[in-house]
């Protein structure tokens, strides 16, 4: 396809993703189901799907189908989440991964809530000065060196940890959809083609990555072609049959470490051997007669989202236009204050004490609210003098619930789209560049808005602070909302806005996900609005209050599930980035096809 046609295709995709449909009807997929789906099982697939038998909503149709298929065979939400996560590693290499990390929140039907931290860790050889030159100044080349930024991937350890405790089906069976998608290939969706094109320079720099995403003439992969990944299939097959050890202490760890070392990075095989995914206690806050569960540090959303919602809950906003100037102004001010706290206090809890309880104390939240002037935007510089950096552009979130009400909220990332672009020859998967999430230099601030607070400085075996915010809201132990998003720092505000609309304003699920979004992160001191989505009058009044407005085409991609008043699950795929909901419409006897119960 010539360049101009490819550009037109990318533009058409972006446009299609932004068009918000007027109706809320169930949309049946017209795309042929992937090959792993056994005959006779039919799934409901669409942007908005209703079901009582469970639901998976993810960024990719094949991955949502993979999880829904596991549900259809009687697997539980954790089983389905594992299948979806591995499928995403094949079909959504922008962010789905086995070379990255993330967070998972699990809510059992009995109301127990657990969280898995499978964030990447820094190598042993990391220290505070890793991004500095000999004179102690920031070395921008080091700061963006993809080999230096590779952290020990946590995904396989994290999924396995969740499986050990909650899985009901054999581990190897849960990888089968992903293995089939890698081995037999899948039809490249327009989103993947557009993203490969947008990242073509980074991806073409690494030989194994170039071989995967470009043809012999050097042209990026096109939508509608088949992408077959035999090397990734072999890695997945090894993980399926041998378990995580082959990844952390076997040939896979050795091959990654060797490649990184050959290219000047610090990651070594013993860093893999020392990696542990961790159980964490979710942050629980009470709001709107329910309970909100979020991820504790090293994520920051579990603190920031309840702060934002706590500030908003103190106003009587029910009767006011949610896209009018008052709600928009207050929301922006709440975000500004939550991000001030985030920048100052949050980091890896295994390295410094994080005052989570103080940050969520009602008195603190009330004082944040009281400092808001309804008529004027607060200048961020008067709240705290240090600026913070802007967020990145790729991560992925998926939500799962099974028919018994067990729920999984999972966000995973390689940091940037396709991570640093590195695929190790023979392994077929992309490595993360997550360690760029550390602050670059102690005390450093600059015009681009870097920050140098101690809690998130690089250190040996430390986890960088994250904005990923998988969240679950329940009432009386029954899950009502599962949500999360990609979008760097915008994640926190996307999640806060979905939850705000559902639990404080009581809006219809589709509206909660598709309504226009905004973002304020304290510094840069500007209010980001989704382009062409906000009423002119609101924008005018925000400007009059003193907000500096900037526009972005889209904010976030919140693949979410809601429970309605009739106990029906409503899956809403966020069409900003091609989200798909999939639900089983039949539950088969366990092991009907290949889905063997766990021994």
Active site residues: 395
Q: Residues 462, 179: contact at Cβ < 8 Å? A: no
* Angstrom distance (rounded) from CA 229 to CA 30: 25
Quote the tokens at residue 201: 């320079």
Nearer to ligand DON, 168 or 521 (CB): 521
Question: Which residues are CB-neighbours of 378 under 8 A, at least 6 positions away?
Answer: 333, 336, 371, 372
100 binds ligand DON (CB under 6 A): no
Q: Count the alpha carbons within 13 Å of 321 in the hemisphere toward its beta carbon.
A: 10
SS3 68: helix
Nearer to ligand DON, 325 or 488 (CB): 488
487 binds ligand DON (CB under 6 A): yes
393 binds ligand DON (CB under 6 A): yes
Per CB under 6 A, the list member of 145, 394, 459, 530 interacting with ligand DON is 394
For residue 167, whether the previous peptide bond is cis, meaning omega lies within 30 degrees of 0, is: no
Q: Residues 118, 155: contact at Cβ < 8 Å? A: yes
Task: Dump the DSSP string for 242-276.
Answer: H-THHHHTSHHHHHHHHHHHHTT----HHHHHT--
- Beta carbon of residue 280, minimum distance to ligand DON (angstroms, whole number): 15
Nearer to ligand DON, 410 or 467 (CB): 467
Nearer to ligand DON, 183 or 521 (CB): 521
- Beta carbon of residue 131, minimum distance to ligand DON (angstroms, whole number): 16
Residue of 92, 518, 134 lying closest to 323 (CA atoms): 518
Nearer to ligand DON, 413 or 461 (CB): 413
- Beta carbon of residue 491, minimum distance to ligand DON (angstroms, whole number): 6
Nearer to ligand DON, 169 or 517 (CB): 517
Per CB under 6 A, the list member of 46, 486, 509, 573 interacting with ligand DON is 486
Per CB under 6 A, the list member of 151, 389, 488, 571 interacting with ligand DON is 488
- Beta carbon of residue 295, minimum distance to ligand DON (angstroms, whole number): 10
* Angstrom distance (rounded) from CA 180 to CA 316: 52
461 binds ligand DON (CB under 6 A): no
- Beta carbon of residue 250, minimum distance to ligand DON (angstroms, whole number): 27
Interface pattern 336-375 for ligand DON (x via CB under 6 A): ----------------------------------------
Q: Residues 283, 294: contact at Cβ < 8 Å? A: yes
- Edge-to-edge order in the sheet of strand 527-530: 518-519, 527-530, 549-552
Total of residues contacting ligand DON (CB under 6 A): 15
Site residues for ligand DON, window 489-518 (CB under 6 A)? Answer: 491
Site residues for ligand DON, window 428-447 (CB under 6 A)? Answer: 434, 437
Cβ atoms < 10 Å from Cβ of 428? 25
* Angstrom distance (rounded) from CA 283 to CA 291: 10
- Beta carbon of residue 558, minimum distance to ligand DON (angstroms, whole number): 12
390 binds ligand DON (CB under 6 A): no
* Angstrom distance (rounded) from CA 598 to CA 590: 11
Site residues for ligand DON, window 412-431 (CB under 6 A)? Answer: 413, 415
Contact window for ligand DON (CB under 6 A) among 36-44, 153-161, 338-346, 391-399? 391-399
Question: Which residues are CB-neighbours of 589 under 8 A, at least 6 positions away?
Answer: 74
Nearer to ligand DON, 56 or 468 (CB): 468
Nearer to ligand DON, 168 or 494 (CB): 494
Helix-strand-coil split of the chain, %, nearest 5:
35, 15, 45
Q: Residues 449, 524: contact at Cβ < 8 Å? A: yes
SS3 401: strand
- Beta carbon of residue 413, minimum distance to ligand DON (angstroms, whole number): 5
Per CB under 6 A, the list member of 199, 395, 471, 493 interacting with ligand DON is 395
Per CB under 6 A, the list member of 64, 97, 399, 466 interacting with ligand DON is 466
Nearer to ligand DON, 491 or 499 (CB): 491
Contact window for ligand DON (CB under 6 A) among 85-93, 378-386, 482-490, 575-583? 482-490
Q: Element (H or E) spanning 102, and its range?
A: strand 101-107
* Angstrom distance (rounded) from CA 265 to CA 258: 10
- Beta carbon of residue 371, minimum distance to ligand DON (angstroms, whole number): 26
Q: Element (H or E) spanning 357, and its range?
A: helix 356-360
151 binds ligand DON (CB under 6 A): no
384 by Cβ neighbours in 10 Å (0-12 / 13-18 / 19+) ranks as: middle
Residues that bind ligand DON (CB under 6 A): 392-395, 413, 415, 434, 437, 466-468, 486-488, 491
């Amino acid at each position: 396809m010539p360049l101009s046609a490819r550009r037109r295709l990318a533009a058409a995709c972006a446009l299609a993703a932004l068009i918000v449909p007027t109706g809320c009807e169930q949309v049946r997929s017209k795309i042929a189901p992937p090959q792993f789906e056994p005959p006779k099982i039919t799934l409901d697939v669409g942007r908005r799907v209703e079901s009582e038998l469970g639901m998976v909503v993810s960024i990719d149709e094949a991955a949502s189908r993979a999880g829904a298929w596991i549900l259809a065979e009687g697997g539980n939400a954790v089983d389905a989440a594992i299948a979806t996560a591995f499928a995403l590693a094949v079909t959504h290499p922008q962010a789905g991964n086995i070379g990255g990390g993330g967070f998972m929140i699990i809510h059992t039907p009995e109301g127990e809530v657990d969280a898995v931290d499978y964030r990447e860790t820094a190598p042993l050889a990391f220290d505070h000065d890793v991004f500095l030159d000999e004179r102690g100044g920031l070395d921008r080349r080091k700061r963006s060196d993809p080999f230096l930024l590779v952290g020990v991937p946590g995904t396989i350890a994290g999924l396995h940890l969740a499986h050990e405790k909650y899985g009901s089906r054999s581990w190897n069976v849960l990888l089968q959809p992903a293995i089939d998608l890698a081995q037999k290939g899948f039809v490249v969706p327009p989103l993947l083609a557009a993203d490969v094109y947008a990242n073509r320079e980074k991806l073409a720099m690494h030989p194994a990555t170039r071989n995967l995403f470009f043809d012999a003439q050097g042209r990026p992969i096109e939508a509608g072609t088949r992408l077959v990944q035999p090397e990734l299939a072999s890695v997945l097959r090894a993980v399926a049959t041998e378990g995580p050890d082959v990844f952390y202490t076997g040939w896979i760890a050795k091959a990654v470490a060797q490649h990184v070392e050959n290219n000047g990075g610090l990651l070594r095989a013993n860093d893999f051997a020392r990696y542990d995914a961790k159980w964490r206690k979710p942050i629980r806050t009470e709001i709107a007669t329910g309970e909100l569960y979020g991820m504790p540090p090293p994520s920051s959303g579990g603190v920031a989202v309840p702060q934002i919602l706590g500030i908003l809950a103190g106003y009587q906003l029910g009767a006011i236009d949610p896209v009018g100037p008052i709600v928009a102004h207050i929301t922006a001010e709440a975000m500004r204050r939550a991000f001030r706290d985030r920048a100052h206090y949050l980091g890896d809890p295994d390295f410094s004490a994080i005052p989570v309880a103080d940050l969520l104390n009602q008195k603190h939240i009330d004082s944040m609210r009281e400092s808001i002037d309804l008529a004027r935007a607060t200048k961020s510089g008067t709240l705290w003098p240090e600026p913070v950096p802007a967020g990145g552009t790729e991560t992925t979130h998926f939500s799962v619930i099974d028919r018994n009400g067990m729920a999984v909220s999972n966000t995973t990332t390689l940091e940037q789209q396709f991570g640093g672009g590195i695929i190790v020859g023979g392994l077929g998967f992309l490595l993360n560049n997550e360690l760029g999430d550390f602050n670059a230099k102690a005390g450093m601030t600059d015009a681009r808005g870097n920050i140098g607070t101690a809690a998130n400085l690089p250190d040996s075996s430390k986890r960088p602070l994250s904005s990923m915010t998988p969240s679950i809201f329940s009432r009386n132990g029954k899950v009502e909302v599962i949500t999360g998003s990609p979008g760097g720092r915008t994640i926190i505000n996307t999640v806060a806005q979905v939850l705000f609309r559902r639990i404080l304003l009581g809006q219809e699920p589709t509206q909660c996900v598709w309504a226009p979004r905004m973002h304020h992160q304290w510094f840069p001191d500007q209010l980001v609005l989704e382009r062409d989505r906000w009423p002119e009058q609101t924008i005018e009044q925000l400007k009059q209050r003193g907000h500096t407005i900037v526009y972005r085409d889209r904010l976030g991609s919140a693949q979410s599930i809601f429970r309605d008043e009739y106990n029906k699950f409503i899956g809403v795929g966020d069409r900003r980035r091609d989200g798909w909901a999939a639900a089983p419409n039949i539950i088969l006897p366990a092991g009907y096809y290949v889905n063997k119960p766990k021994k």
